[in-house]
Homo-oligomer: A and B are copies of this chain.
Amino acid sequence: MIELKNLHVKVADFLLEQVDLVVSKGEYTVILGPTGAGKTVLLESIAGLHALSHGEIILDGKDVTGTAPEARGVSIVYQDYSLFPHLTVKENIIFGLRVRHTAKPQIDEALHWISGLFEIQPLLNRLPASLSGGERQKVALARALITRPHILLLDEPLSALDAESREEMRSQLKTIHDKLNITTLHVTHDFEEAMSLADTIVVINQGKIAQVGPPAEIFYHPSSEFVARFTMARNIFSGKVIGRDTKSSVFRCDAIEIFASSDNTKAGFAVIRPEMLQLTAEKPILISNSFPGSVKTIVDKGANILVTVDCSPQFECLLPRQQFEHMVINTGSPVYISFLPSSVHLI
């Protein structure tokens, strides 16, 4: 378990402020934020590599605020894997046991176990420079896990990989985590990566925590305009609530009125995710939110097509490719945008 209490850290230009966070034992937590948000500094602070200006760090119930990094039982894996270039893969992996003066038979046993787990036996005698990106990462993870740390810190572990190995390593990370049940803190700037791995997502911006919650909550109920933008909610309209009946609020923005099944009457933004929009040629019936407009741009995103519809305000609508191909839409086509009141999130 990781407990951070009112953490303040200043490192060069980065500043972490007022970070309060509890990560339960065995949980896979992803810290999500843009470049320069202080994500790496946060990990390094937990590992004991920076002096705190203020606050406490409690790991598994023990206050380690003043403890040296080597005594915390926390392993860190950096984005570029930081393998020791002068040591072979084997020497890299057993480094943590060597410095602890572990006996040879135990080292051999642990090496056998971990290299089996990551299937890296054939690499043991090679030097890091000769490994591929995916192999380096496996070695870095093996090195981090052989000492059986209580906590694993991953700093953008997938960013340096190409799309294919990224998918493979993503599932391997999940598997390893589930197998060893190790408390994991994973830092990334990639929203999709966070969604696919996290039990809990911590959104961080400019050194402060912006929102904490399970992926679905971050996805559907961003707590601020920043979180909504960062999770690519796309349709973020500023305006205000002008009415409220038993079932829904009425949110006014530019020329349109949006019905939302939310009771946040103080809201300044209405957020509707682009996946939640329906795009039809005819006016749909029985849907309270439906607006006519014309197609402005069509962007092919592979699996999905992003259609921008001009109807003051402008809506962005993400259609599954198959559905798009069955419709006949071109730039300028008159269409209707519609969505359920339950798809509208007010903040």
Which of A7-15, A53-61, A187-195, A252-260 lies on the face that meets chain B? A187-195
State which of A80-88, A97-105, A297-305 sits at the interface with chain B: A297-305
Chain B nearest CB, measured from A258 CB (Å): 19
Known: A229-B164, A232-B163. A275 touches B301 (CB 8 A): no
Asked if B192 and A34 sit within 8 Å, CB to CB, the answer is no
CA distance A86 to B229 in the complex (A): 35
Is there an interface contact between B303 and A318, defined as CB atoms closer than 8 Å?
A: yes
Tell me, yes or no, whether A320 is within 8 Å of chain B by CB: yes
Interface string of A134-160 (1 = CB under 8 A from B): 000000000000000000000000000
Q: Is the interface on chain A under 10, 10 to 19, 20 to 34, or 35 or more residues?
A: 20 to 34
A245 at the interface (CB under 8 A from B): no
The CA-CA distance from A34 to B162 in the complex, in Å, is: 8
A299 with B196: in contact, given A320-B320, A321-B275 (CB under 8 Å)? yes
A–B complex contacts, Cβ < 8 Å, 11 sampled: A35-B162, A191-B302, A215-B300, A231-B302, A232-B302, A274-B303, A275-B303, A275-B321, A276-B322, A303-B304, A320-B320
A223–B231 Cα distance when bound, in Å, is 35
How many copies the complex holds: the figure is: 2
Q: Which residue of B lies closest to A190 (CB)?
A: B163
For the complex, is A95 an interface residue (Cβ under 8 Å from B)?
Answer: no
C-alpha spacing A4/B307, complex, angstroms: 36
Within 8 A of B (CB), among A259-304: 274-276, 297, 299-304
Query: Which of B189, B192, B275 touches A320 (beta carbons < 8 Å)?
Result: B275
The reply to whether A171 and B303 form a contact with Cβ atoms under 8 Å apart is no
**A78 sits at the interface (CB 8 A):** no
CA distance A231 to B189 in the complex (A): 23
Provide the bound-state CA to CA distance between A35 and B300, in Å.
23
Closest B residue, CB atoms, query A234: B167
**Which one of B192, B299, B320 contacts A302 once the chains associate, using CB atoms below 8 Å?**
B192
Query: Chain B residues with Cβ under 8 A from A34's Cβ?
Result: 162
- A171-B232 in contact (CB<8A): no
Q: Mark A320-331, 1 if CB is under 8 A from B, else 0.
A: 111100000000
